[in-house]
Amino acid sequence: MASSSSGGEDHHNMFLSLQQIDEDKTNHASDKTMNVVSTSTNSTNNNEPTVIEYSPISCDGCRVNHRRCDRTKPSCHGCSLRGMTCKYSTNYKRRAKPVINNSIKHEDVTILDYYFSGFKIMERKELEQFLISHYKSNNSSSYNKEMNEMAALYYSIKASCECQMGNIEKSEKSAKQAKDYLSKVFDSHSSTRVAITYLNMCFYEWWFERLDVSKFYFQILLFYKQNLIVENCTTTKLLISLIQILECAIFNVEKSMDLYPLSFERFLEILPDTFTYFMDDCKDEYNDCYQILKHPHLIDSSNCMELNTFVQTLISECKNYEDETFGKSDTITMYYEIIKNGTTLGILSKYATVTPMVEFTLDRCAKSIVKLISNPNVIILPIEILTHVSVAAEYHYKKTQQQQPSGIVFPKDSRVSNYVEMLKIELKTYKLFASRYKIVKRYYYEGIFKTIDEYLLHQSQNI
């Protein structure tokens, strides 16, 4: 009897121990092994702490049997009680955790980080607050007007970021979600959020060369442009300036919404309208420069130096304005550096006779562009930067033709080989953008990039 009673008591104690394991709420979220210091009652010296080592993941046995694991090393409590060998796999990939305590999912944090590393038009806090509310709600059909507007806006941002990151399939799903939410708030004619959503979707459809849909969104944006109240709202001002860029740089309203070319000459023509939205005061003072920019064929040796000085000042002022308004960003800095070097290269190339000093400036600008586009984050920048990359590519291609007789393969240690390496980087940048945006080939391939592609192919075949 005593033996039976003892065995029953042991079984009961083990049951209680196992139950205690299942009720353990400890959650060690760190991805690294953690050490916790506690005081052991079994220690010979109660003042000496015992270091308990924890694993960042549950042991194999507890995971397989769906038991809660306390993750202690070298053996968890559950395996010790059962007399089992406790093993922690080192190659186990943890599943994404659900939202806890108003935190934001890792996937959405990645999207926000990506979006706010580049050109942003919204406050991050507003999007984060929406996501937290979005997670808490189990039924999006019960959303009020504000939540539907925020949902449409967020998914339009998500679609754009996923496209830029090369996740095309995901971006199409996010775009569909944005359109679904947008259909519920399409009549919010004075909502800045809805207008930004239309702007994002207009660019998104343009990227995929779905021009009819993009033009439809653009026409809606023109309506919003007339109804938005500017006042002193920075977001609304920036939104209207972006609509203006669409109006003067992409869609030709006067010619059935035909696409404008994204050429360097066109860039100069629209420069006064796109880069001086916040600086109208200087138009009268520099009226001569404005007129030349509006008619790029007038640029020559007599005015190109003065014009370039004006353009560089203009671009720098715009950069300073954005830094002060939205905060400094490495991506924005990279964008402005590319267009500053591109405009200098393009304008000073108009010299009839290039002096050694001008040649040095041209070479430096072209090399600077190559260095800038070697940054992997270049894909975050607007497609239009390829206009300036093409200017640098034309310069480098011209150099290879001047220093290399036709049909002769360049020696690897020659100066021509340096230009060819830069051409490869420029072509690689074009192909990177073309892999993400279908519209890129329509604008750029038939020009210098096709020439470079054929030239490099010829070189490789003759080595």
pLDDT digits (tens, 9 = 90+) for 143-161: 899 999 999 999 999 999 9
Q: Band of the pLDDT at 425, cuts 50, 70, 90?
A: very high
Please state, in angstroms and as integers, the Cα–Cα distance from residue 66 to each residue in 58, 60, 69, 401, 403, following that order. 10, 10, 9, 69, 71
What is the distance between the alpha carbons of residues 189 and 172, in angstroms, rounded to a whole number?
26
Least confident of 18-22, 57-61, 240-244, 266-270: 18-22
Least confident of 99-113, 119-133, 255-269, 444-458: 99-113
For the structural domain made of 21-94, what CATH number should be given? Answer: 4.10.240.10
Q: Band of the pLDDT at 257, cuts 50, 70, 90?
A: confident
Other CB atoms within 10 A of residue 139 CB: 6
Nearest to 84 by CA among 96, 75, 93: 75
What is the distance between the alpha carbons of residues 218 and 162, in angstroms, rounded to a whole number?
22
Is the pLDDT confidence value at 356 over 80? yes
Pairing of strands 49-54, 72-73: antiparallel
Provide the pLDDT for residue 339: 94
Neighbour-count burial for 159-195, b at 16+ CB within 10 Å, e otherwise: bbbbbbbebeebbeebbebbbebbebbeebeebbbbb
Provide the pLDDT for residue 301: 92
Q: Band of the pLDDT at 173, cuts 50, 70, 90?
A: very high
What's the mean pLDDT when you consider all of the chain?
A: 80
Provide the pLDDT for residue 253: 84
Provide the pLDDT for residue 25: 37
Cβ–Cβ under 8 Å, residues 114 and 165? yes
What is the distance between the alpha carbons of residues 264 and 388, in angstroms, rounded to a whole number?
7
Provide the pLDDT for residue 214: 95
> For 26-123, where are the alpha helices, taking DSSP H only?
60-64, 77-82, 106-116
Residue 38: in which H helix or E strand, if any? strand 34-39
Three-state secondary-structure class, residue 73: strand
Least confident of 148-162, 246-260, 293-307: 246-260
Q: Which residues contact residue 2 at a Cβ distance below 8 angstroms, ignoring those fewer than 6 apart?
A: none
Instruction: For residue 54, list its beta bridge partners.
Output: 34, 72
The percentage of the chain sitting over the pLDDT mark of 70, rounded to a whole number, equals: 78
Question: What pTM, to 2 d.p., does this model score?
Answer: 0.71
Is the pLDDT confidence value at 422 over 90? yes
| Of 94 and 285, the one with more pLDDT | 285
Collect contacts of 347-350 with beta carbons under 8 A, ≥24 apart.
Answer: 347/268, 347/299, 347/304, 347/307, 347/308, 347/311, 348/304, 348/305, 348/308, 349/391, 349/395, 350/299, 350/300, 350/301, 350/304
Provide the pLDDT for residue 206: 95
Is the pLDDT confidence value at 224 over 90? no
Provide the pLDDT for residue 62: 83
